[in-house]
Amino acid sequence: MTTRVVACLVAWAALATFARAEDSQEAAALVAPQLVALHPIDWPANEPHTEGLISVTVALVIDVDGEVRRSELVSGAGAAFDRAVLRASVLFRFEPATWSGEPVEVSVPFTHTFVPPPLPPSDDEEVEESDRTLVSRLEGLVQERGTRRVVPRGTVVVRVGERELLAVTDDDGKFSVQVPDGELEVRVASPLHRRFLQKESLAANQRLRVNYLLDRQSYSPYETVVVGTRERTEVSRTTLQGRELTHVPGTFGDPFKVVQVLPGVTQVMSLLPMPVVRGSSPGNTGFFLDESRLPLLFHLFGGPSVVHPEFIDRVDFYPGGFPLKYGGYTGGIVDGQTRTGKLQDNRLEFDLNLLQAGVFLRRAFPDADLTTTVAGRIGYPALLLGLIIDEVSLSYWDYQARIEQGGLYQGWTAFFYGASDEVRIAFEQDENGKVVLQRAALFRFHRGDLRLRLGNEERNLVARAIVGFDESGVGPTMTTSTLLFQPMLRAGVKLAKTLRWNSGIDGQGRRNSTEMAGGEGELVAPDDALSGTLNDDGWMYLGGVFTELVWQPVSRLLVVPGVRADYYRQADAAQLGVDPRMHLRLRVDEQHTWLKASVGRFTQPPRMFLPLPGVDISALDLGLLSSLQSSAGFETRLAPGVELDVQTYFNWMDPVLFDLALNRSPDELLGRHDNESDNDFARSLYTGRKGRSFGLEVMLRKRDSDGLFGWISYTLSRSQRQDDEGNWQAFDFDRAHILNLVAGLKLPRNWEVGGRVLLQTGTPISTMFGYNSGRTDPQLRVDLRIDKRAVWDKWLLDFYIDVINVVVAEESGGLVGSDAFRYVLPTIGFRAVL
């Protein structure tokens, strides 16, 4: 099986630089290609001597054998210089890049800087005379300003009058050159750095040691970005990484919020990032962290996600047809993969914006093969809110701590994380007339995640044990808490060259308890006739097992059959779901174009519309929700770094719960609302219905290989539910057209600008002619983001402005129905990297 991963190491230094793989942001499982043989590139014959340095940049495509398959000109400096670099660079030899241990193809920018050859002295006597004048010594250490990384292979040019003396920095960034006494002009050139100029003055027979600090051309925090797809066994996955995660306008740099601008996704409303994926209810899409469900995703529902962004290496998004390792959902899956610490990576970061402050610390202990990482944030939205209103207080915090040893297939990890949100409202005043804030809502969770990795690339096993405590409170008195234990096992065995077997077991035991100050604490469904309870006290057991075969009989065909079974038990209710699934991929040309298709069954227990800690699965006695998902399409690479992905899908949902009941009914519109309407609403929530959704998704994507990233995503879709009379009606959050344009561009002097435009049709609303028979106006939203990185001698400071809805465009639809509203949400933030 030939794994095809196209990666790009943006902002490439000298070849030896990326071989060190020092960049802390590098993909966890990606190992950069390492130089084996460098072919010299000489100053072209017959080209005249120039005053300055000349640079040529090419893109090297390095194949799985480490050979340069192609060298393409990116920026030239004249035919002779371009030709010299193109001809020589195809002769370079590398140890190939690897992804998870497998060789992969990568694309690497390479810049060669030509140093003008020194002007020859007129005759031998002059040379001898000149050498006698070299009585002093200039020694130096060349480092990058801000990060203090050494700069290897930098060219040092010392000019004394008409004479030029050359030196090249070694792997430690040091150089040494004999110079005459007097005044010298020193220039340092490095492909990744701005030109450096300094004047030195040496006395005769003196030695001067200098530490030259070079400004980098671009101090992007994400210099190494996987720009292609790694090994793919599924049909519908979009992987985001690097700047695509943290620099998308309108997300405030939150990796999980980027999902909202991908194909097949809309939201219940702009400021509430609950995704509606391929026409499914928000509660049917699961959010995971390293394959473990997150009980609370966003602080205060619309704020930042509960995990520090620096912990997230990449986000995998599956709008449907997701792998068997994920169970318990019938919509999509969003899985944030945490970053594996590296033994060279020591970092301290502070961040501050109008809503929160945070810290991130990573410390490696190479001798013990250990890496430790801690992070935490405190949110203080009440500070700003207090300027406007003193009757509401909002606060949140989260923490993460991880220690890990070993590598991808051997080692262990202990990961602890948690988060808390609290809303306090003035329900009453004290005797002095001062408002007294009382708890209105509390959401809190803690997790301990222990992992043991055994084996190798051929046979591997991951054993995990997760313990957790969840707590949700509504009002000042009622609190639901959950204690859970979740063992997990994952195994993979390469049975033959063309066949791999993956399997896993999930378990979960959780004990719910509800406390009500001054009374019994059970939440009961609004209608006694309804059998389900929202959250039974007592034990709940969940178990899942899956197995799949990854079969690649020939390099252009991949077949992945598998099955997953999940068992749920709560009180007297027990449910079993069995989900067979199949994925097919067929490559139709030699390189980049794949046809793909998948079909499968997906089941889940009834879940709350909003995921809350400890309040998740409910009404199990109503049965499991089920969907039959099918998808077909193709993906191709149009040019290096430019990809096109087209998919069609059809999902049959039977049954769905908690759907098609949120919008206002025609009776309410006509003012005929009464208590019976409330009962109808509740009954409707608990009524199992049939649903269907189908559509077309197109994504044209430019990877972040040369400072520009972005995509155009378009979704044409229809999502419907069957009403009580058997008629198909539009789903509450159905949108026929969703168009997203996202772009981010690096500019000189460490500026980055980005924009996002969203244009989508409105959502259904009821009219006098029937439920969801009308539609709100289309929505336009424009977001803007500007980033600047300032560099000091030993640290970096990032500054950003992110403005959501810069033109204060009107929004209606979704949760707010026809009640149009306008808003603009700007923020300013800082991040210091030490």
Half-sphere exposure of 377 (CA within 13 A, CB side): 30
Residue 146 backbone dihedrals phi, psi, to 5 degrees: 95, -55
Contact 561, 549 (CB under 8 A): yes
Strands 286-289 vs 333-338: parallel, antiparallel or unpaired: parallel
Residue 737 found at the interface with another protein (CB under 8 A): no
Residue 808 has which token pair? Answer: 């204060």
Nearer residue to another protein within complex by CB, 231 or 810: 810
Contact 656, 624 (CB under 8 A): no
Residue 135 has which token pair? Answer: 């009585």
Cα distance between residue 503 and residue 331, in whole Å: 22
Contact 636, 593 (CB under 8 A): yes
Closest CB 140 distance from another protein, rounded Å: 7
Residue 456 found at the interface with another protein (CB under 8 A): no
Q: Taking Cα atoms as reference points, which of 739, 762, 768 lies closest to residue 810? A: 762
Cα distance between residue 482 and residue 554, in whole Å: 49
Residue 749 Ramachandran class (φ > 0 left, ψ -120 to 50 alpha, else beta)? left
Among 505, 786, 816, 834, binds another protein (CB under 8 A): 786
Nearer residue to another protein within complex by CB, 128 or 777: 777
Cα distance between residue 188 and residue 169, in whole Å: 10
Which helix (H) or strand (E) segment holds residue 58: the answer is strand 54-62
Among 582, 688, 773, 778, binds another protein (CB under 8 A): 773
Residue 212 found at the interface with another protein (CB under 8 A): yes
Residue 389 found at the interface with another protein (CB under 8 A): no
Residue 438 has which token pair? Answer: 């009382």
Q: Taking Cα atoms as reference points, which of 314, 264, 248, 224 lies closest to residue 709? A: 248
Residue 822 found at the interface with another protein (CB under 8 A): yes
Q: Stretches 21-29, 99-107, 654-662, 813-821: which one binds another protein (CB under 8 A)?
A: 813-821
Residue 801 found at the interface with another protein (CB under 8 A): yes
Residue 365 found at the interface with another protein (CB under 8 A): no
- Rounded to 5°, the CA angle 596-600-601 comes to 160
Among 450, 525, 790, 834, binds another protein (CB under 8 A): 790
Q: Stretches 154-162, 197-205, 441-449, 630-638: which one binds another protein (CB under 8 A)?
A: 197-205
Chain residues 666-695 in contact with another protein, contact rule CB under 8 A: 669-671
Residue 788 found at the interface with another protein (CB under 8 A): yes
Among 378, 517, 571, 807, binds another protein (CB under 8 A): 807
Q: Stretches 326-334, 451-459, 491-499, 801-809: which one binds another protein (CB under 8 A)?
A: 801-809
Give the per-residue contact string, 368-387, with another protein (x = CB under 8 A; - = no): ----------------x--x
Residue 206 found at the interface with another protein (CB under 8 A): yes
Residue 820 found at the interface with another protein (CB under 8 A): yes
Residue 387 neighbours by CB under 8 Å, 6+ apart: none
3-state secondary structure of 276: strand
Among 10, 68, 156, 214, binds another protein (CB under 8 A): 214
Cα distance between residue 652 and residue 277, in whole Å: 14
Among 307, 488, 622, 803, binds another protein (CB under 8 A): 803
Residue 828 found at the interface with another protein (CB under 8 A): yes
Cα of 721 vs its chain's centroid, Å: 32
Nearer residue to another protein within complex by CB, 194 or 683: 194
In the chain, count H helices and then E strands.
Answer: 7, 53
Contact 552, 558 (CB under 8 A): yes
Using CB under 8 A, count the residues that bind another protein. Answer: 64
Which helix (H) or strand (E) segment holds residue 19: the answer is helix 15-19
Buried b (16+ CB within 10 A) or exposed e, 480-512: bbbbbebbbebbbebeeeeebbbbbebbbebeb
Amino acid at position 132, single letter: R
Among 573, 784, 796, 833, binds another protein (CB under 8 A): 784
Q: Taking Cα atoms as reference points, which of 160, 167, 197, 50 lies closest to residue 116? A: 50
Nearer residue to another protein within complex by CB, 146 or 286: 146
Residue 159 found at the interface with another protein (CB under 8 A): no
Give the per-residue contact string, 223-262, with another protein (x = CB under 8 A; - = no): ----------------------------------------
Among 810, 815, 816, 834, binds another protein (CB under 8 A): 810
Q: Report the 10 Å Cβ neighbour count for 132.
A: 9
Residue 141 found at the interface with another protein (CB under 8 A): yes
Nearer residue to another protein within complex by CB, 526 or 707: 707
Among 39, 207, 511, 737, binds another protein (CB under 8 A): 207
Nearer residue to another protein within complex by CB, 214 or 442: 214
Q: Stretches 111-119, 196-204, 445-453, 683-691: which one binds another protein (CB under 8 A)?
A: 196-204
Amino acid at position 705, single letter: S
Residues found near another protein in the complex (CB under 8 A): 140-141, 145, 183, 194-199, 201, 206-215, 354, 384, 387, 669-671, 747-749, 751, 753, 765-769, 773-777, 784, 786, 788, 790, 792-793, 797, 799, 801, 803, 806-808, 810, 818-820, 822, 824, 826, 828, 830
